[in-house]
Structure 1
Amino acid sequence: MKKMIGSVNALHQQNSSVQIKFDRMDLLRVQIPHKDPLVISLLVAECLVRRMLIDPRSNANVMIRVTFDWLEIKPKKLKPTGNPLLGFNGKCVEPIGIVELLVRAAERELMESFVVVEIHPSYNLLMGRWWIHRVQGVPLTLHWVMRCLSLNGNKVIDIHRDQVAAKECYSVTLKASGKGKAPV
């Protein structure tokens, strides 16, 4: 697990004719219609973390405090931040701090900054557009996949949606809102 898979510098050395495409064949494994978000699982700080929401609208990677504690990260690794986060509901959330952790995806090992907050969403992590750009990803919720070019640009790597985790998140969200349960 500790073997180096790739680096950011290799991203700029690509010379490839491989393109990221989506077509009808990709929809064969997808139940249409659906409203499910793109929720994946990845290695973060040497641990498999489930229930990671891919959100191209977010300017930051967000980690909830419970996930921070579960990963057993020492609090001294938190760096202070003076910038509040603007939440989905328009309210500001004061971060506990920022932590940098190794994230593995699409043949890349990238140090990513996470804003740690004390909130209670159904997701463990939210991966924002900066990370999506760094892995050269193209998320498509309709197809339940994020496609990335390999480091050398000669193939496409799919990061598939974790369907069970997405259903769990939806169920937790409904329960917290008082609107009942969704099937898992």
Structure 2
Amino acid sequence: MSVARLPAKADDRESKRAKGMASPILGFSDENKVGTIQPHNDALVVTLRIGGYNVKRLLVDQGNTVEIMYPDLYKGLKLRPENLTAYDSLLVSFEGKIVTPKGQIRLPIQTSSNIVEVDFIVVDAYSPYTTIVARPWLHALGAISSTLHQKMKYPSEGQVKEVIGDQAMARQCMVSAISRRPSTEPTTSAENG
């Protein structure tokens, strides 16, 4: 019995790549750590364009399920209370406190030529960040983020684009949050009886 090879049919991925339609592979390597301070435990804090304004101190939090906006940014974007729509669920803050949202607002987040509409939950609470962008935005953009590499990558126009974190700003935000936190340790004195 002999086996004849049939002419190879072009692989679908190759034909898509030739047409510029293939999705690039997203990932991180040690090379992506160049330019960062290592080792570190810094959050991924970036600058993005929201509602037509460049906004600094955005926390990229892939563990969060909703995008959060804090009062300073809401006022800075010149938004008014009547711009909000109702949001009925309660949220839990980093300190474990229940937070009642003021409402929600839909705004565009732009990264290079990509624009994703996002529903921000507006809360009246302190944060060293202006906003938290979370899984809904990351997933809509097709992005992956790495705090270790201080980058976020996403596919756009057949290429891999990057948003680079600002470690200095991340550290300033951490210092601000720590200095504002009330002492949780009770003051006690030891007495010998």
Q: Work out whether the TM-score is over 0.5.
A: yes
Would you say 1:57 and 2:63 are equivalent positions? yes
The runs of 5 or more residues in structure 1 that have no matched partner are 1-13, 180-184
Checking the alignment, whether the CA contact within 8 Å between 2:70 and 2:126 is kept in structure 1 is: yes
Shift of 1:88: 2.4
Checking the alignment, whether the CA contact within 8 Å between 2:36 and 2:167 is kept in structure 1 is: no
Aligned partners of 2:36 and 2:168: how far apart in 1?
13
Checking the alignment, whether the CA contact within 8 Å between 1:105 and 1:135 is kept in structure 2 is: no
Checking the alignment, whether the CA contact within 8 Å between 2:44 and 2:59 is kept in structure 1 is: yes
Counterpart in the other structure of 1:174 = 178
Counterpart in the other structure of 1:163 = 167
Indicate the larger mover: 27-36 or 113-122: 27-36
SS in 2 for 1:164: helix
Shift of 1:71: 1.0
**Alignment equivalent of 1:27, drawn from 26, 33, 55:** 33
**Alignment equivalent of 2:115, drawn from 88, 109, 116:** 109
Paired amino acid for 1:162 = D
Shift of 1:17: 5.1
Paired amino acid for 2:56 = R
**Alignment equivalent of 2:24, drawn from 2, 12, 18:** 18
**Alignment equivalent of 1:67, drawn from 64, 67, 73:** 73
Paired amino acid for 2:80 = K
Paired amino acid for 1:157 = K
Shift of 1:24: 1.4
Shift of 1:18: 2.0
**Alignment equivalent of 2:42, drawn from 19, 36, 43:** 36
Counterpart in the other structure of 1:79 = 85
With normalisation by structure 1, the TM-score equals 0.84
Report the count of equivalent residues.
164
Q: Percent same amino acid at aligned positions?
A: 25
Aligned partners of 1:175 and 1:91: how far apart in 2?
18
Indicate the larger mover: 111-120 or 80-89: 80-89
Structure 1 pair 17–68 and aligned structure 2 pair: CA distance change class (3 A): closer
Paired amino acid for 1:33 = P
The runs of 5 or more residues in structure 2 that have no matched partner are 1-19, 184-193
Shift of 1:106: 4.7
Aligned partners of 2:170 and 2:147: how far apart in 1?
12
Paired amino acid for 1:148 = Y
Between structure 1 and structure 2, the one with the greater Rg is 2
Shift of 1:90: 2.7
